[in-house]
Amino acid sequence: MKFPVLIVNLKNYRESSGSNADRFFEYARSLSSINNVMVAPPILDTLRYVGEYSDILIAQSVDVPGYGSYTGHVPLVRLVDEGLRYSLINHSEYKLPHETIKKILDEASQYDFEFVVCVDSIDEMKRLLEMDVYPAAYAIEPPELIGSGRSVSKYKPQVVSDAVDLGKEYGVPVLCGAGVSTGEDVTAASKLGAVGVLVASAIAKSPEPLKVMEDMARNL
């Protein structure tokens, strides 16, 4: 994964679901000369972007390692076989047991596939690191700031810098997210040592998403 990175999580907002997701990939591509911008579309739309956008496509979640009797799940190996290379996992809106995360990341180590593991606290990050979970990056997102419009980089800077310090101890880069709304919020995150940000509502729900994405990409 290339850092710094701006990850646009489209969640399952109507404004960014189905064909409404297309423009975010086009915008991300158009900003590639400025910075690495990746897009996490709704899981039901993911496979439509493999191929043309594989380099900037990141799945929202994976919840089992391989194929099998897993009704309703998203298997890692299926994504690998389809040509995906990146996924988020353990987002606050879809937490997984830590043993499951460990199993999935262990499985991924034999493929060209990388994870951003989301954590809601330093404590959670510590517990995962102690289980030898070493992803491409951790993303720290205090749940109470998600969707709030109040950026973690301004309202909880200590959480970000503590996560960055902990990541350094283990050689794992750290992103941050929750409430990030402007280029200024992104600059604040970079100053705290984060190698990128995760953003959802400020982009997915904006009447002018390209403007917001460009401002953020320029401030990474």
Q: Dihedral (C-alpha) 81, 136, 98, 73: value to the nearest 10 degrees?
A: -20
183 binds ligand G3P (CB under 6 A): no
Task: Tell me which residue of 125, 105, 112, 107 sits closest to 175, measured CA to CA.
Answer: 125
Segment near ligand G3P (CB under 6 A); pick from 47-55, 64-72, 94-102, 196-204: 196-204
| Distance (Å, whole) CA 112 – CA 79 | 11
Q: Tell me if residue 184 is catalytic.
A: no
Segment near ligand G3P (CB under 6 A); pick from 72-80, 166-174, 182-190, 195-203: 195-203
SS3 79: helix
177 binds ligand G3P (CB under 6 A): yes
**Least distance to ligand G3P from the beta carbon of 199, Å?**
5
Q: Are 53 and 25 in contact (CB under 8 A)?
A: yes
> Whose Cβ is closer to ligand G3P: residue 105's or residue 200's?
200
Segment near ligand G3P (CB under 6 A); pick from 15-23, 182-190, 193-201, 210-218: 193-201
Dig out the tokens for 134 from the structure. 């070493």
Q: Dihedral (C-alpha) 156, 147, 36, 125: value to the nearest 10 degrees?
A: 50
Which position among 124, 141, 169, 184 bears the catalytic label? 141
201 binds ligand G3P (CB under 6 A): yes
87 binds ligand G3P (CB under 6 A): no
- Amino acid occupying residue 154: K
> Whose Cβ is closer to ligand G3P: residue 85's or residue 91's?
91
Q: Tell me if residue 98 is catalytic.
A: no
- Judged by CB under 6 A, the residue of 199, 212, 216, 217 near ligand G3P is 199
Residues binding ligand G3P: number (CB under 6 A)? 14
Task: Tell me which residue of 110, 114, 213 sits closest to 173, measured CA to CA.
Answer: 114
Q: Are 18 and 10 in contact (CB under 8 A)?
A: no
Report the catalytic residues: 91, 141
